Amino acid sequence: MHKATQLRKLIDQGKIVVAPGVFDALGARIVERAGFQAVSITGNGVSAALLGKPDVGLLTMTEIVEQGHRIASAVDIPVVADADTGYGSALNVIRTVQEFEAAGIAGIAIEDQEAPKRCGHMAGARRLISTEEMVGKLEAAIWARKDPDFIIMARTDAAKTEGLEAAIKRGRAYADAGADIINVHTTGGREPLKAIGEGLNMPLKVNMDEAGEASLVPLGELEAMGYRLATYPGTLRYTVVWAAMKALAELKASGSTNSARDRMVSFQEYNEILGLPAIQQLDDRFVHRG
């Protein structure tokens, strides 16, 4: 079964699908090993991993597609990706969809910010394109996909700029344009999320970054509100950065990693995550025969 079809079937079941966010193939393998049914690629994380820069629209489409291909190739579960603004006009969106689909991604999210975009959790209002221009981008995206199961997600950042009611209105327009899932981005908690669910009668996506209050709302409540995809873009990167800083501080202070080893995986477990046993079997079968 194609991964896009696999993801669509999961969403159509009516249960919320949890997709932790990753920025590399190792993270994706960890998510899969933990038993999750899907994984999401965080543009913020990829910007940090590849450029060491914040999420302010510096990544190119080529860079994130290449990273997406590596991630999708490393796991058997479906992968969704952050495609920022689609990297240009509706014509650029056509190529964006084609490239992500060819890379093995199951679906992408396109947002209605002007370029260069900024992370939705950063302070300040957002500059948005018109609803009409975004509708054109979504129609182009739907036209461009080869696999009808490839998920097109539409995100609006209008809540900060135009208010929640206007953001929900944009969400309706994006749904009418054919988007499969709508993400009305809000840093608020239960009440705005409930209003979004009541205002949009279709599958919804929620960003569960720990920088926002949405991450405090239980998944069961979100599912009842109509949310079908919950991404956790910050969980891995915040955890990894904290753990790395802690271990390095201890090494710097003591000249040893002894006190940090209880917070490390073993060399054996590390290689198991990377699939070394399976590779060794292939080596025995095809290289060192007999």
Tens digits of residue pLDDT in 75-106: 999 999 999 999 999 999 999 999 999 999 99
- pLDDT of amino acid 123: 56
Domains of the chain: 3-233 (3.20.20.60), 241-286 (no CATH)
Question: Tokens 């054996």 identify what position?
Answer: 268
CA 106, distance to chain mean position in Å, is: 11
Estimate the crossing angle of helix 164-176 against helix 131-144, to 10 degrees: 30
DSSP state of 100: H
For residues 65 and 46, is the Cβ–Cβ distance under 8 A? no
Q: How many helices (H) and strands (E) does the chain have?
A: 13, 8
- pLDDT of amino acid 264: 95
- pLDDT of amino acid 239: 97
With 0-12 / 13-18 / 19 or more C-beta atoms within 10 angstroms meaning exposed / middle / buried, residue 163 is: exposed
115-144 pLDDT, tens digit each: 876 665 555 667 999 999 999 999 999 999
Closest to 181 (Cα-Cα) out of 106, 75, 277:
106
Task: End-to-end CA distance of the chain: give it in Å, rounded.
Answer: 35
Q: What angle do CA 267, 273, 276 make, to 5 degrees?
A: 75
Residue ranges for the chain with pLDDT beneath 70 = 117-125, 290
Rounded Cα–Cα distance for residues 87 and 96 (Å): 7
